[in-house]
Amino acid sequence: MAPSPLLPIDAAQARLLALAPAIPAETVPLAAAAGRYLRAPATARRTQPAADLSAMDGYAIRFADLPGPWQVIGESAAGRDFAGTVAPGEAVRIFTGAAMPGGADTVLVQEEARRDGATLHLAGEGPTRRARNVRARGLDFHEGDSLGETGAALTPARLALLATGGVGEVSVSRRVRVALAATGDELIEPGSAGAGLPESNRLMLRAMLADLPIEIVDLGILPDRLDVLTRAFADVAADLLVTTGGASVGDHDLVRPALEAAGAVIDFWRIALRPGKPMMAGRRGDCAVVGLPGNPVSAFVTGLLFVRPLAARIAGARDPLPRATLATLGEALPANGERTDYIRAEQRDGRVYAAVIQDSSMLATLARATCLIVRAPHAPAAAAGDMAEILVIA
Ligand SMILES: Nc1nc2c(c(=O)[nH]1)N[C@H]1C(S)=C(S)[C@@H](COP(=O)(O)OP(=O)(O)OC[C@H]3O[C@@H](n4cnc5c(N)ncnc54)[C@H](O)[C@@H]3O)O[C@H]1N2
Ligand code: MOO
């Protein structure tokens, strides 16, 4: 039987994201919502700033009174407003974040003022326009404004925005349950004694997902036995099952038959990607399943391009795919073949340099790499100084 053509990477990513199951929402306090994604829009419950505030330490004056002098009639500090009104020729001592007193419209910074008892003199250029050094009520946002659409990431900045908007709790997706299984009779637990190859894919993938709102269900290292794999895949309770190894065409590559025996429907297998060609993806009931190749660098690249975006999409992210940027090549690159190539490279002095050997088993070059150079299928040879797409990884 002729092998089916390899799926282009963007088509594979689109099909993969479409496999994301819907998971329930939950309401959590803002303080517990870091890294989650909004399931409902968040709306400002207050206006910020709630009043016109001084942006500087100085004196609240009427712009029309410049160049002074003024009589200082009181003080306004943050949280302790001045109760009166500023009449012509009057000023109020004011501090950053304090409410502007009624009648005043401008702040004279104290570096440009001279105090002589209760009398204030201009001692510099002074404010050049009305409302200088004043933050108008609502400068940041108004009550009723949207502070985040459905799917927005609760980044540190957005959490601070929501807190300032008077939002105390948010509707987010519950944590995504990600089951991780390594397969291979040659594998041993990392750090354990004995012959065998230390298993490295689970902890690598776990670390790649660490900043997402997930819970890991660790299925451990599974042997190359169809019955054991089938039972493990049939029993798993998760939103996303990720396996590594056994994805290719060898006699011991049992992941696909085991997934199918466990009731999974495979949507695609084998993509036009180097490294990572034998990746497969599908669904088993409400659980998305992704079978990654066992080679550690192949697992890293497919983890970056597929698993992490899928976990983020299940968590509610609108736009989860990694973003490439442009960089200048430090050396020439040969023409590419039929698969999109992700080349381990280092950024030095504003240029990128590819590692000489790109074997997909080599973790030392992956750990040294700060980026992957992306080479499109059939890209022509590139010269030093040409621009190339990269994905930053460290
Ligand atoms: N005849 C063909 N052979 C291979 C093909 C092909 O198209 N035809 N594809 C190659 C490509 S490309 C890849 S990638 C590999 C991936 O195959 P598998 O997913 O079946 O991976 P394994 O054979 O199980 O393992 C490959 C390699 O990686 C080591 N490994 C596996 N799991 C782990 C782990 N969790 N931690 C550390 N190292 C791991 C394993 O010992 C092997 O050395 O297939 C090619 N073959
Ligand atoms: O696609 Mo495999 O990952 O080249 O080594």
Convert the pLDDT of each residue in 254-311 to its tens digit: 999 999 999 999 999 999 999 999 999 999 999 999 999 999 999 999 999 999 999 9
Q: Whose CA is nearest to atom 2 of ligand 2?
A: 275
Nearest to 266 by CA among 253, 276, 256: 256
Q: Is 360 in the pocket of ligand 1 (CB under 6 A)?
A: yes
Q: Is 340 in the pocket of ligand 2 (CB under 6 A)?
A: no
As a 3-state breakdown, the chain gives helix, strand, coil percent values, each rounded to 5, of 20, 35, 45
Report the C-alpha gap between 8 and 295 in whole angstroms.
20
pLDDT at 66: 97
pLDDT at 2: 58
Mean pLDDT of the residues in the chain: 97
Q: Is 294 in the pocket of ligand 1 (CB under 6 A)?
A: yes
Report the C-alpha gap between 15 and 115 in whole angstroms.
71
Flag whether pLDDT at 1 surpasses 70: no
In the chain, the percentage of residues whose pLDDT exceeds 90 is 97
- Residue 361 CA: nearest ligand 2 atom is 5
Distances in whole angstroms, Cα of residue 223 to Cα of each of 24, 73, 232, 240, 271: 34, 83, 11, 20, 25
When the candidates are 3.30.70.20, 2.170.190.11, 3.50.50.60, 3.90.800.10, the CATH number that belongs to 53-135 is 2.170.190.11
Looking at CATH, the fold of the domain delimited by 325-392 is given as Beta-clip (2.40.340)
Question: CATH 2.170.190.11 spans which residues of the chain?
Answer: 53-135
In the chain, the percentage of residues whose pLDDT exceeds 70 is 99
Nearest to 280 by CA among 258, 297, 313: 258
Flag whether pLDDT at 234 surpasses 70: yes
Average pLDDT rounded to a whole number, residues 214-234: 98
Least confident of 3-12, 169-178, 257-266, 374-383: 3-12
Report the C-alpha gap between 247 and 237 in whole angstroms.
22
The DSSP letter of residue 303 is I
Question: CATH 3.90.105.10 spans which residues of the chain?
Answer: 27-46+142-173
| 92-123: pLDDT as tens digits | 999 999 999 999 999 999 999 999 999 999 99
- Residue 273 CA: nearest ligand 2 atom is 1
> Which residue in the block uniquely carries the two structure tokens 């570096």?
111
Flag whether pLDDT at 3 surpasses 80: no
- CATH number for the segment(s) 27-46+142-173: 3.90.105.10
Average pLDDT rounded to a whole number, residues 236-253: 94
| 125-174: pLDDT as tens digits | 999 999 999 999 999 999 999 999 999 999 999 999 999 999 999 999 99
Coil/strand/helix, residue 16: helix
Distances in whole angstroms, Cα of residue 182 to Cα of each of 267, 294, 312: 21, 8, 21
Cβ contact 140:49 at 8 Å? yes
Cβ contact 328:386 at 8 Å? yes
CA of 386 to the centre of ligand 2 (A): 26
When the candidates are 3.30.70.20, 3.40.50.300, 2.130.10.10, 3.40.980.10, the CATH number that belongs to 9-24+175-315 is 3.40.980.10
Cβ contact 221:199 at 8 Å? yes
Question: CATH 2.40.340.10 spans which residues of the chain?
Answer: 325-392
Flag whether pLDDT at 194 surpasses 90: no
Distances in whole angstroms, Cα of residue 276 to Cα of each of 136, 248, 282: 55, 10, 16
Q: 163 — phi, psi (to 5°)?
A: -60, -45
Flag whether pLDDT at 4 surpasses 90: no
CA of 250 to the centre of ligand 1 (A): 9
Cα 386–Cα 388–Cα 393 angle in degrees, nearest 5: 140
CA of 266 to the centre of ligand 2 (A): 20
Tell me the whole-structure pTM to 2 decimals. 0.92
Helix axes 9-17, 308-315, angle to 10 degrees: 30
Ligand number nearest to the C-alpha of 340 = 2
Handedness of CA 84, 85, 88, 94 (dihedral sign): positive
CA of 186 to the centre of ligand 2 (A): 19
CA of 361 to the centre of ligand 1 (A): 9
Q: Whose CA is nearest to atom 45 of ligand 1?
A: 248
The DSSP letter of residue 143 is T
pLDDT at 36: 97
